Amino acid sequence: MRSIWNRKITQTITTLLVAMSGAVQAADGDFNLTEIVPGIFVHKGNTVYERTPANLADQANIGFIVGAQCVAVIDAGGSLPIGLKLKAAIKQTTDKPVCYVINSHVHPDHIFGDPAFKADGVIFVGHAQLAKAISARNTTYTNSLKRDLGDLAMGSELTPPTQTVKAGESLELDLGGRKINVQAWPLGHTDNDVTVWDEQTETLWLADLLFMEHVPAMDGSIPGWLKVIADVKKIPAKQVVPGHGPVSAPWPSAIAAEERYLTKVADGVRKALKDKKTIQEAIETVGWDEQEQWKEFENFHRRTVTATYAELEWEE
């Protein structure tokens, strides 16, 4: 693993930020980047809950894969400034152009940086459900980014895919001597998750199908997500890239904690329903023994239990 942490791209970023808003102080010129296997570069997001002008909503793991002809970006980050930092980092790494931007799912911490890569010939790839999800959430996401980043949110935009993949199907992309596979999954973490498989290095980019350190943020269905995990585990990857946590992790052991947590919530809610507990009682009792195992537990767990209860009460 060749590390190129602290790659300096201060100049480019400072120039861009001055152009955008004059808020030079907001930019931390260091943009971490790790080449986890030959040709796959991952930037580690900061796994903190609060978005601020100082962190530029740099919350998710994002990065790119370099082929002989061109580059595929996987998630452009939580804001346009982060997308521009990623773009600058790519330029410092390779002279190949970006041909694909793969949006792993609708969440804004992954894809608000998209406009940094908008250019002729760049294809935006995403799940067939992604455009609909973007359409439904754009207003709320955009308003909350403006609230948190102020002027630095300017230009950040969720970008609908120009090429889509239906749930259960996959799409092969050729980067020149390097084939990658974009696979779309059914309802789980969200209803619009895709993963990326790099044949050459047997690396599986899972994005938010895999949370490490940070508690899984559920925006779909836990029973669905557990089914997806069962299928994902069959993929014989050598290493995987989680959406939050380390830049690379061993497979399949990396997903054990997430699977344990989701199973515990689903089982706990089913038992609460069987015991005729109310939704509030379930929120107060289910899964709290996991609290010490995860970052941001307080901010996500109750909501996950609420949604799971509302879903599972319809099970027979």
Show the site string, 159-198: x = touches another protein by CB under 8 A, - = not: --------------------------------x-------
**Per CB under 8 A, 286 contacts another protein:** no
By beta-carbon proximity to another protein, the closer residue of 70 and 152 is 152
**Among 43, 214, 270, 277, interactor with another protein by CB under 8 A:** 214
Rule CB under 8 A: say whether 277 interacts with another protein.
no
274 binds another protein (CB under 8 A): no
87, 107, 178, 189: residue in contact with another protein (rule CB under 8 A) = 107
Among 33, 62, 80, 145, binds another protein (CB under 8 A): 145
Please identify, using beta-carbon distances, which residue of 185 and 300 lies nearer to another protein: 300
Candidate residues 12, 21, 34, 59; the one interacting with another protein per rule CB under 8 A: 59
Q: Residue 289 burial by CB count (10 A; 0-12/13-18/19+): exposed, middle or buried?
A: exposed
Q: Which of 7, 43, 44, 51 binds another protein (CB under 8 A)?
A: 51
Cα–Cα separations (whole angstroms), residue 126 to 5, 138, 176, 293 = 29, 16, 20, 32
Where on the chain is the footprint of another protein (CB under 8 A)?
48-51, 57, 59, 107-109, 134-141, 143-145, 147-148, 191, 214, 217, 219-220, 276, 278-280, 283, 296, 299-300, 302-303, 306-307, 310, 313-314
